[in-house]
Structure 1
């Protein structure tokens, strides 16, 4: 095997937005490039995340291909044509697209930023390219568990190493391949700026855009209620949404490259996810003493301790969300803020990045 310093490392990402997964991957790519490694990034779609790269070469496939969906969406029984299109896309990637790019870029190591990139995983094994799969996304069973079982099978057969963000994610996908897996929590580099809660501009911030799995339905209910909160909304929103809700008390800023200044300027962070997540925004909130308010999705206890480093409410329960937000706002004047920061330093600091780098270069 070549010495690690001479290896060509290819990062592959499938999404288009500026969410937690592309931000975390970009940090890794920038860090390795800064350390003198040969790094390139391949975006399967034209992603806004490419603007975050620092002197790292990138390429865009740009074809209208579909990859395996995870819990953000699963096909309905009346959409067999989409299932067929996904299958054809998988085969086209396996036989044409992935071989073309692997031959063109000639990587020694390929880092796949999601478990859904099973086609690229399969081809990397055929080309004898060492691969690392980083499972950053939410995991749920779907209708009958067929999707998860299929992804689990492909991981067990073809992955050289799989990194999970949490124990819950590994239980969902990798319990049978524990020998070649690691659990490394998400992280925030350097932590955030801590502002006196009394001087923060917003009572709460929400960063999920209009995605249903991020809990937008509860957020809309909150925006339309009589509660007088000063709110900040980040993420991707339609013009109709902005026109309807943007006001003096509700600042719909939309997508931004760096959400940390806005989180630091908020007393609480709302994360009403409807399906299991290991959310980067909650970690960002902890790092700057912004109290997280999150739904009781599976695995939440790996991130916060209710009453100590945040507040948990019943999933899809609007009244309990409001009650929990009020509780969190009252906690801002206590030592809970320092407890949040301590939780970040002990579990979610950039020391986790060093662990991932060691795996990539091993």
Structure 2
């Protein structure tokens, strides 16, 4: 087996499920190859990776520090008037990165590598730059590509990836189908990275039923319908709430005012956060690398995504033998059926509350049976699936 040098380009800035999935990928690749991560943005993700012993390069040019933005066209996003303006800007930036700044950055960073590995569909502009340097190109499709109104952006992204990528890896069958490049695409589910050594002391009260939600106040993770469900939950229900709740506070004053003016959800967000803070059903945890400890203390894991997206918490819960509660967004059926959890109608907060209350009322034997079915499903999903490291050997 030949050892390849891989330059993995990462666009994420926060510490969350995407970064954890990336870390699992890096651990797998480093068993057989040499991996260096090129982070487009200087962020807390850089520090996290370096603490894990990963070799990291951070782009330090004016264009990528000040002007660059991601060319996002995902079904896991929402329309807004501000988005129309942003789309025009990111389209211009996309081509500038593709033909001018990307090649300049890669001529140095990718000089000795064999493979340029793009960790997102959002950075497909780098595929052109990498292919121009005669590198093998891999694109990891972590987002469900949107159709759009006219399909122009979809066609552009599909054309760029189809022409320049040697291999496409999709984290779900749904993501792969949406891209529509079956001859190049392989489905490989994200590896499970759960560190049992990072435990915390969790005190629970007798008679209460605990659940875990991972996703913070992100709209796509179903934050609004989780909060709207709180008034309908049984008194014995408690929810470990993990994740950020301050993403909008990072915006400068004028950006926040524009977002409030154009986005009804942003205007509603302070009310949702206040209701969350005041609820006696919520146990606020914040960002934690001890998520496995909360999963194990819980009756089930709640993943009420409001838009199509593959849910890493669902995979983690099933790996640990925990039932799940999910919304019926497109692609859910690939991961969850009635034997391993409950599926509620997306957007129906009362239905979510009923699902939580239903599992809260189940005995341990029933819950254990659902969890065991989840483990079987998890093993079956990963059984005989090629690992990414093996796939790269074919390039």
With normalisation by structure 1, the TM-score equals 0.86
Mapped partners of 2:82, 2:25: distance in 1 = 40
Matched, 1:49 2:25: no
Q: 1:198-232: CA deviations, max 9, x gaps?
A: 98986211111111111111011123445422111
How many angstroms does 1:332 deviate by? Answer: 4.7
Q: Give secondary structure in 1 for the equivalent of 2:387.
A: helix
Matched, 1:97 2:101: yes
Of 196, 205, 210, the residue aligned with 2:212 is 205
Number of residue equivalences: 351
Mapped partners of 1:267, 1:115: distance in 2 = 35
Of 62, 65, 73, the residue aligned with 1:63 is 65
Stretches of structure 2 that go unaligned for 5 or more consecutive residues are 250-269
Aligned to 1:275: 307
Aligned to 1:235: 243
- TM-aligned CA distance change 1:187 to 1:202, over 3 Å: farther
Aligned to 1:84: 88
The 8 Å contact of residues 287 and 341 in structure 1, kept in 2 or not, is answered as yes
Aligned to 2:350: 319
Stretches of structure 1 that go unaligned for 5 or more consecutive residues are none
Q: Give secondary structure in 1 for the equivalent of 2:143.
A: coil
Of 219, 222, 239, the residue aligned with 1:215 is 222
Q: How does 1:148-227 map to 2 (within 5 A)?
A: 148-174=154-180, 177-189=181-193, 203-225=210-232, 227=234
How many angstroms does 1:288 deviate by? Answer: 1.4
Aligned to 1:130: 136
Aligned to 1:27: 24
How many angstroms does 1:339 deviate by? Answer: 1.2
Mapped partners of 1:11, 1:357: distance in 2 = 13
- Structural RMSD (CA): 2.9
Matched, 1:341 2:375: yes
The 8 Å contact of residues 18 and 257 in structure 1, kept in 2 or not, is answered as no
Matched, 1:355 2:358: no
Mapped partners of 1:355, 1:199: distance in 2 = 43
Q: Give secondary structure in 1 for the equivalent of 2:186.
A: strand
Q: 1:79-109: CA deviations, max 9, x gaps?
A: 5542332123213312343223311122210
Aligned to 2:334: 302
Aligned to 2:322: 290
Q: Give secondary structure in 2 for the equivalent of 1:266.
A: coil
Comparing 208-217 with 98-107, greater Cα deviation is found at: 98-107
- TM-aligned CA distance change 1:79 to 1:271, over 3 Å: closer
The 8 Å contact of residues 10 and 42 in structure 1, kept in 2 or not, is answered as yes
- TM-aligned CA distance change 1:305 to 1:199, over 3 Å: farther
The 8 Å contact of residues 232 and 350 in structure 2, kept in 1 or not, is answered as no
Mapped partners of 1:327, 1:224: distance in 2 = 15
- TM-aligned CA distance change 1:99 to 1:74, over 3 Å: farther
How many angstroms does 1:15 deviate by? Answer: 1.6
The 8 Å contact of residues 139 and 276 in structure 1, kept in 2 or not, is answered as no
How many angstroms does 1:321 deviate by? Answer: 1.1
- TM-aligned CA distance change 1:212 to 1:78, over 3 Å: closer
Aligned to 2:259: none
Q: Give secondary structure in 2 for the equivalent of 1:142.
A: coil
Mapped partners of 1:199, 1:49: distance in 2 = 38
- TM-aligned CA distance change 1:189 to 1:77, over 3 Å: closer
Mapped partners of 1:289, 1:73: distance in 2 = 30
Mapped partners of 1:359, 1:135: distance in 2 = 15
- TM-aligned CA distance change 1:286 to 1:24, over 3 Å: same
The 8 Å contact of residues 49 and 56 in structure 2, kept in 1 or not, is answered as no
